[in-house]
Amino acid sequence: MASEGTLTSTDYITHHLTNLTFGRHPDGHWGFAHSAQEASEMGFMAIHVDSMFWSVFLGCIFCWLFKKMADKAHTGVPKGLLNFIEMVVDFVDGNVKDIFHGRNPLIAPMALTIFVWVFFMNLMDLIPVDVIPWIWQHISGNPHAFMKVVPSTDPNIALGMACAVFILMIFYSLKIKGPVGFIKELTLHPFSAKNPFVQVLFVPLNFFMEVLGLLAKPFSLGLRLFGNMYAGEMIFILIALMYNAGLILGIFGGFLQMGWAIFHILVITLQAFIFMVLTIVYLSQSHEDH
């Protein structure tokens, strides 16, 4: 697609940043959007089909791979991929033991799922930006079909995962602390006073600050992942534009893309790790009963 003369640089970037969207058109019929404007006009009920497909597909790969390695696990010295998988499991388990101070058998499996699943989604960013869209265009028969292959660059996926973590935070806060204890946590901190009349004056301020901080957690969790991965994808797209700017710039762009891909391996791993660690921290706070 980078070599198509019919596309300007702006068209090329816009095309790669537009999701394959299914929803209701303004005239009432349901179908796929044929432009970024049509996708935005579909509103809230539209579905990003490509983000949903790739996230579910990568989740299935994660489940299949770890199930297969679990069946091969033995008491001897592991080798090859099994050794690597056990290292990942031990790494995540060690972080959970260091950070999470409650007792909940769900946390470690969930942390492992988050780390590997987010890593797999981020890893799609290392595939050359034109390869899968080109394949999809030939399969669909539409030379202008949209296809975004990095689910974590879609704010709906990143914020959706963050909202799931937020729901668990509220659930365990109510379960461990009880409704009264949770309300006290939101109204009696951080400002307190021994005088009950002064404390009553602090309640609205405490409630505002605590609720604001509570709501900021899922937003910061999701937007951090989305922002970093979106920026990385944008750099890959901008480098790909150089392939249509002549032989010299094309060769230079190839070296740039290789260098950025090597550096991006650290970025995608770090973002998966940060998402996992913050999830463990937030759930650990939900299990603390002061």
Active-site residue identified among 220, 244, 284, 286: 220
Helix (H) or strand (E) holding 183: helix 155-187
Q: Is 220 in the active site?
A: yes
Q: Is 224 in the active site?
A: yes
Q: What whole-number distance in Å separates Cα of residue 134 and Cα of residue 11? A: 16
Active-site residue identified among 55, 122, 228, 286: 228
Active-site residue identified among 35, 104, 140, 224: 224
280: Cβ–Cβ under 8 A, 6 or more apart, which residues?
Answer: 95, 96, 99, 100, 107, 111
β-strand pairing of 47-48 with 30-32? unpaired
Asked if 289 and 103 count as a contact pair (C-beta separation under 8 A), the reply is: no
List 13's β-bridge partners, or say none.
none
Number of Cβ within a 10 Å radius of residue 166: 19
Q: Is 24 in the active site?
A: no
> Which active-site residues does the annotation give?
220, 224, 228
